Amino acid sequence: MMKINHCIFPGDILYDTENFVWADIEHDKRKANIGITSILGYISGKLSVIKLRQVGSYIERGKSFGTLESPRYFGVVRAPISGRIIEVNHAIIDQPELANDSPYAEGWFAKMEISNIEEEIKNLQTIESCYEKMATLIQKHHIICFGAFPDYEMFQIGVECAATLTKLDELLEKITIGNVVHLVSDDTTADLEMVRWSEQTGQSLLETRKEGNLFHFIVKKMK
């Protein structure tokens, strides 16, 4: 497991950095699970719809084998290898957010029968060999990874913390218990105020991070 700018990348799978996807090749080198990287998950935002090609479909590397949709994003998912789809993960069709929350485990997309392992593996990289490329992509797309993927985002720039907390309380009243909010504030007292607010309200402050002059908070609704 390797962490790049807080984004986690398993060390036992191979990556297609161009298309933000990965392949976990089985020991017999005939089959592989495929899915999206955490980078694509953060680019797309909380996914609401995932559609995949049917079992039996033959997909060439770089061609679409599905689509992703969120309130702010729509795009295709491109195969990291060429081969035939022999299984799809129906769990992510029923619960698309699994691809955000667990992109390398429960959120896998499909299993493929590899057409030519010698050729296909040439186009994939270990995380060690593509470390710099991944770091560049994270910076280019302004990706900030957190331990819990946010369901909602609040950007409160130039707003006093007291007003921000009022808006946060209003949002938490509307959303479901267990939902996670990513709050961004440039108030210099925000870190102290958020700790005090969490203690007073009983809502969970999962993570606090400062990037430049901005505070990033991950808040989970507990009640």
Between the CA of residue 203 and those of 54, 134, 181, what are the distances in Å? 42, 34, 11
Q: Could you read off the pLDDT of 1-24 as tens digits, one per residue?
A: 899 989 999 999 999 999 999 999
Domains of the chain, each with CATH number or no CATH? 2-140 (2.40.50.100), 152-220 (3.30.110.40)
pTM of the predicted model, to two decimals? 0.91
Positions of the chain with pLDDT lower than 50, given as ranges: none
CA distance 184 to 156: 6
Q: What is the pLDDT of residue 184?
A: 98
CA distance 63 to 97: 23
CA angle 70, 91, 96 (to 5 degrees): 10
Q: What is the pLDDT of residue 85?
A: 98
CA distance 66 to 83: 14
Q: What is the pLDDT of residue 76?
A: 98
Q: What is the pLDDT of residue 16?
A: 98
CA distance 58 to 67: 16
- Write a three-state SS string for 187-213: CCCHHHHHHHHHHHHCCEEEEEEEECC
Number of helical H runs and strand E runs in the chain: 7, 15
Q: What is the pLDDT of residue 4?
A: 95
Q: What is the pLDDT of residue 214?
A: 97
Q: What is the pLDDT of residue 36?
A: 99
